[in-house]
C-alpha cells in the first residue's frame, strides 16, 4: 500500500498556499489568520487549526457496557493471537470534525485501502464513503461497514485511510456512485479470491481519482494503521475493540487526559480547565469478529 502521502495534506503546504486555498473556497477570514497585509507570513504564532495537523496518535477502548471508558495507548495493549487466521469486521463507528477548511457544512470523502490476506495471493481492497458535518460536530455515521470478513494473517492486518475536503463543483454527484448498496454495505469478503470485487474496486478508484482532480478538493489527513501481534514497544497491537485515531502533531499525548463517553459516543477531555471542544479531528474504527450470515432457506 502506501498510496496516501502525508505531503499531500493541506497542513504540509507552505502558509501562503494554505491561505490561497482558503481564499479560493471562500473562507477569507480564516485565510487572514495565516497571512498579514496580503504578504506571505509565518502565520499566527501557535495557530494550528485542527485540519492543519499532519500526524496522529492511536488509542484503544476495550469493549464494555460502562458509560465512561478509559482509553489506552494502542501500543500498550496485549495482542489477541487467537485472531490469527480468523475473519474480522472493520467498521467506521465515529467521524468527528473539530474544524475543516471552508464555511458551512463540509462534504468529506473518507477513503480506506486494505488487503485481504487470502491464498494464493492477497486481494486489494478499496472503500470510500461520502460524509458531511459542520465544525464541532460528528458526521451521521455509526457502525458503518468498511471491510466485512477480512482475513487476519499471522502478521496481523494493515490498512490506510485518508480524508479529502470536497469543494469543487460537481464532485458530490460523482461521489453519488459510492452510495450504491454494495459500497454502503462495505466490501463483503469470502475465503477465496473474488473476481467480482475487482470491478467495484475499479469503480471506487475511478470515482476517487475524478474527485481528487478537482481544483478545490484537498486532502486533509492520511494515516496508516498496522495492527499486529508483535511485542515491540512501538508496535500497535490487534485485538477486538475500538481504535481512536486522532489527527494531531502533539509531541506529548496522555490518554489519561481523555475518556470515551459511551452514551454519547464521543471523546471527552477530562481536565478541569478544558472547554466543551475536544480540539482535534478524530475517527473511531471498530474491530469485531465476523459472523457469516445464515443462508436463506426455502429458495431454489
- pLDDT, residue 177, reads 65
Using alpha carbons, select from 6, 2, 36, 7 the residue that is nearest to residue 19.
36
Proportion of the chain above pLDDT 70, given as a percent:
78
Residue 267: strand pairing partners: 260
In whole numbers, what is the pLDDT of the chain averaged over residues?
83
The 10s digit of each residue's pLDDT in 109-130 is 898 888 776 655 666 777 888 8
Give which of 228, 242, 235, 224 is closest to 283, Cα–Cα: 242
Name residue, grid cell 460524509.
Answer: 131
d(CA 71, CA 284): 12
- Domain ranges for the chain: 52-289
Spatial distance between the Cα atoms of 103 and 153, rounded to a whole number of angstroms: 43
Residue 137 has pLDDT above 60, yes or no: yes
Quickly state the pLDDT bin for 100 (edges 50, 70, 90): very high
Least confident stretch, 145-154, 256-265, 272-281: 272-281
pTM: 0.86
Q: Tens of pLDDT along 11-30?
A: 999 988 999 999 999 999 99
13: nearest Cα among 38, 28, 35 = 35
Does residue 1 carry a pLDDT above 80? Answer: no
Question: Which residues, other chains included, contact 29 with Cβ-Cβ below 8 Å and sequence gap of 6+?
Answer: none
The pLDDT of residue 69 is 94
Residue 299 confidence (pLDDT): 42
Q: What is the pLDDT of residue 161?
A: 92
Amino acid at each position: 500500500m502506501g498510496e496516501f502521502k502525508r505531503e499531500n495534506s493541506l497542513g504540509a503546504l507552505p502558509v501562503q498556499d494554505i491561505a490561497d486555498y482558503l481564499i479560493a473556497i471562500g473562507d477569507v477570514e480564516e485565510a487572514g489568520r495565516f497571512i498579514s497585509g496580503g504578504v506571505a507570513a509565518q502565520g499566527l504564532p501557535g495557530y494550528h487549526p485542527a485540519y492543519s495537523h499532519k500526524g496522529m496518535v492511536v488509542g484503544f477502548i476495550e469493549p464494555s457496557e460502562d458509560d465512561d471508558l478509559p482509553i489506552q495507548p494502542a501500543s500498550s495493549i496485549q495482542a489477541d493471537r487467537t485472531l490469527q487466521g480468523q475473519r474480522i469486521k472493520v467498521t467506521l463507528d465515529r467521524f468527528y470534525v473539530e474544524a475543516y477548511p471552508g464555511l458551512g457544512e463540509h462534504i468529506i470523502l473518507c477513503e480506506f485501502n486494505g488487503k485481504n490476506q487470502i491464498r494464493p495471493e492477497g486481494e486489494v481492497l478499496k472503500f470510500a464513503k461520502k460524509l458531511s458535518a459542520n465544525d464541532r460536530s460528528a458526521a451521521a455515521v455509526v457502525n458503518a461497514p468498511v471491510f466485512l470478513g477480512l482475513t487476519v494473517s499471522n502478521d496481523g492486518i494493515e490498512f490506510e485511510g485518508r480524508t479529502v475536503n470536497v469543494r469543487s463543483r460537481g464532485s458530490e454527484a460523482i461521489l453519488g456512485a459510492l452510495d450504491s448498496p454494495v459500497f454502503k454495505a462495505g466490501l463483503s469478503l469470502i475465503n477465496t479470491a473474488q473476481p467480482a470485487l475487482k470491478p467495484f474496486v475499479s469503480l471506487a478508484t475511478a470515482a476517487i481519482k475524478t474527485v481528487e482532480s478537482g481544483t478545490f478538493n484537498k486532502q486533509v489527513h492520511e494515516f496508516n494503521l498496522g495492527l499486529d501481534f508483535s511485542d515491540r514497544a512501538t508496535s500497535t497491537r490487534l485485538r477486538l475493540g475500538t481504535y481512536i485515531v486522532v489527527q494531531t502533531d502533539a509531541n506529548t499525548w496522555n490518554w489519561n487526559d481523555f475518556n470515551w463517553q459511551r452514551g454519547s459516543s464521543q471523546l471527552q477531555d477530562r481536565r478541569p480547565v478544558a472547554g466543551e471542544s475536544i480540539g482535534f479531528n478524530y475517527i473511531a474504527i471498530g474491530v469485531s469478529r465476523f459472523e457469516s450470515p445464515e443462508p436463506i432457506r426455502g429458495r431454489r
